Chains A and B, each alone.
Chain A
Amino acid sequence: MTSLASRIRTGIRARRSKIKKEFTRRHSLAVRILHWVNFVTVAVMLMSGLQIFNAHPALYWGVSSNFAHPLLSMNAMQDNQGRVEGVTSVGRYTFNTTGLFGWSKGEDGHYTDRGFPRWATLPGSRWLAMGRLWHFFFAWILVVNGCLYVLYGFASGHFRRDLWMTRTDWRRLGHTFVEHLKLKFPRGDEARHYNGLQKLAYLVIIFVVAPTIVLTGLTMSPTMDAGFPWLLWVFHGRQSARTIHFVCAMTLVAFFVVHIAMVILSGLWNNVRSMITGRYALEPARAHTVEEHHE
């Protein structure tokens, strides 16, 4: 397997080569606008969400908080020598997370007890009221932007054309996964379309994670629980809903990390340009590889 550095070098060489590149129009104007609004909104939602989490950095399962048995908690604890450490507990397991979770530097540079660190929350200092203002204001933008995207996706055929999993996509899913692990990305005509792995990731985020995070968010509202008691039934109670909300948020973080990694590894400039101007350059197709002969 070629090293990461050499692959990036190859990428740079390919970009600098004089081969005449072919372009395809990858993203429509609507998708591009919605994408960048979504980017800002999700960043604000995530960071203000962590600020809210920090007001009570513990998660539970069920209708109420069983303070003695959280599923997850982040605390500052004193060890035998009187030193304070950040301790994160997940079920029966505990981890020393000093500097990251439970005990990290506050705005004055001194260590303080807080769930997520200062750089991960909005605002950076401990300020629940402000975190809630950011969160609930941008929640409206998120929902409006999301609804526009879904309407557009169905109306324009974007979902059917670009994201719907074909039989071939399902069949080749394992193969595509292995190719991604080897950092071999589709080229030529193959790169005109999303591959199965990409489609699946986007579909899960758009149709599973996003609706779940909105619904679990609403389940935490006591007024919504009175009007729509089935929410509590679906999510096993308010505290479970809060836990699922958190897990979905962390899933989005994982998606974001992989998304950024893929954007960088498969051609940072080309990808960013395609999301700004719509133009995506097709790298010339590779010579037939051994794997392809096996098909």
Chain B
Amino acid sequence: MSNIISTRRRRLILGLGAGAGSLLLAGCDQLSNLPQTRRVLSSEQWLTRAVQDTLVSRDALAPEFPRADIAPVFRANGTTDPDNPKYQAMARDGFRDWQLRVDGLVENPKSFSLQEIRSMPAQTQITRQDCVEGWSCIGQWTGPLLRDVLARVIPKPSARYVMFFCADPMDDGRDYYYESIDMRTAVHPQTLLAYALNGEALPIAYGAPVRLRLGLQLGYKMAKYVMHIQLVSSYRPFGRGHGGYWEDQGYTWYAGI
């Protein structure tokens, strides 16, 4: 008798275990839809950022590659031709009227023409671009260091983030692409305002006339079609407050991994 009871009990416990297991997985799926879950899970990025900022020095460089490694076809992702009449007009004109406004928490707000950007001391790097989707492409990028551009406008000590506002409309024109990086990333010795890819003027599909190029983060941080740079103390007031277009869709602000 006791054996029968214990067999029943065993079956019950094993059954409960199996049931709990499947509930757990179904539950995780359901949990994904709760904003609280997303808030808790995405807090991981601040731990990851703190640990990576500690382990990896400010000046650590992304590896550079030989010419032979340059991708024959560099994949263009995200917007490849901004549906924006003003942008298209500028593009037809070779971006002669394009002006990059740099302002916000700076002593000396300034607008740069493409000619001015191109005449600044430039860095050429053959580096790897990693997409959040998982693929990587190697390309040769040329442009001035962002920190040299910032030096011309003299950031105020209260400036903590650099915002990039772009020409590509997203979600049928309800928003424009935007991004933000911290000052540590902004002054990194490989952070470029790139105007050339593989030795040629940056094509439209890759963000003409100027895009951001970072050595240590994923592709979605590297805003294309940059029109306006603003130094701020917080990215909260912009967009939906998460620091960028993809961040507002649930991707992490810190994209070092």
Chain A residues contacting B5 (CB-CB under 8 Å) are none
Q: Report whether B134 and A229 are in contact in the complex, using a CB–CB cutoff of 8 Å.
A: no
The chain B residue with its CB closest to the CB of A58 is B135
A58 to B41, CA, bound (A): 27
- Residue from the list A43, A140, A220, A268 in contact with B130, Cβ < 8 A: A220
Q: Report whether A221 and B52 are in contact in the complex, using a CB–CB cutoff of 8 Å.
A: yes
- Residue from the list B60, B73, B218, B246 in contact with A226, Cβ < 8 A: B60
- Residue from the list B10, B138, B218 in contact with A222, Cβ < 8 A: B218
A15 to B2, CA, bound (A): 12
A34 to B10, CA, bound (A): 23
Q: Which of B10, B44, B52, B56 has the most CB of A within 10 A?
A: B44
- Residue from the list A44, A222, A242 in contact with B215, Cβ < 8 A: A222
- A123-B32, A133-B252 given; A65·B41 CB < 8 A: no
The chain A residue with its CB closest to the CB of B28 is A122
Q: Report whether B14 and A226 are in contact in the complex, using a CB–CB cutoff of 8 Å.
A: no
Chain B residues contacting A238 (CB-CB under 8 Å) are 128, 130, 136
- A64-B137, A122-B28, A137-B41 given; A272·B17 CB < 8 A: yes
Least Cβ–Cβ distance between A243 and chain B, in angstroms: 11
Check if A206 is an interface residue, CB within 8 A of chain B: no
Chain B residues contacting A239 (CB-CB under 8 Å) are 135-136
Q: Which of B62-70, B78-86, B106-114, B153-161 contacts A (4 or more CB under 8 A)?
A: B62-70
Q: Is the interface of A mostly helix, strand, loop or mixed?
A: helix
A24 to B73, CA, bound (A): 63
Q: Report whether A223 and B56 are in contact in the complex, using a CB–CB cutoff of 8 Å.
A: yes
Chain B residues contacting A56 (CB-CB under 8 Å) are 131, 133-135
Interfacial residues of chain B within 13-64, with CB under 8 A of chain A in the complex: 13-14, 17, 24-25, 28-29, 32, 38, 40-45, 47-48, 52, 55-57, 60-63
A124 to B132, CA, bound (A): 19
Interfacial residues of chain A within 236-265, with CB under 8 A of chain B in the complex: 238-239, 242
Q: Report whether A52 and B52 are in contact in the complex, using a CB–CB cutoff of 8 Å.
A: no
Chain B residues contacting A65 (CB-CB under 8 Å) are 71, 75, 135-137
Chain B residues contacting A226 (CB-CB under 8 Å) are 56, 60-63, 215-216
Least Cβ–Cβ distance between B179 and chain A, in angstroms: 15
- A67-B73, A129-B250 given; A222·B28 CB < 8 A: no
Q: Report whether B24 and A223 are in contact in the complex, using a CB–CB cutoff of 8 Å.
A: no
Chain B residues contacting A16 (CB-CB under 8 Å) are 3, 7
Encode A201-229 as 1/0 by CB contact (under 8 A) with B: 00000000000000000101111111111
Interfacial residues of chain B within 234-257, with CB under 8 A of chain A in the complex: 246, 249-252, 256-257
Mark B residues whose CB is within 8 Å of A. 3, 7, 10, 13-14, 17, 24-25, 28-29, 32, 38, 40-45, 47-48, 52, 55-57, 60-63, 65, 69, 71, 73, 75, 128, 130-138, 215-218, 246, 249-252, 256-257
23 contacts between A and B (CB under 8 A): A15-B7, A43-B24, A55-B132, A64-B138, A122-B32, A123-B28, A124-B29, A128-B133, A133-B38, A137-B41, A137-B43, A140-B47, A222-B215, A223-B56, A223-B216, A225-B63, A227-B55, A227-B57, A229-B63, A238-B128, A242-B134, A269-B14, A272-B17
Q: Which 10 A-B pairs have the closest CB atoms?
A: A227-B56, A223-B256, A129-B250, A221-B257, A133-B41, A65-B135, A226-B60, A55-B133, A56-B133, A56-B134
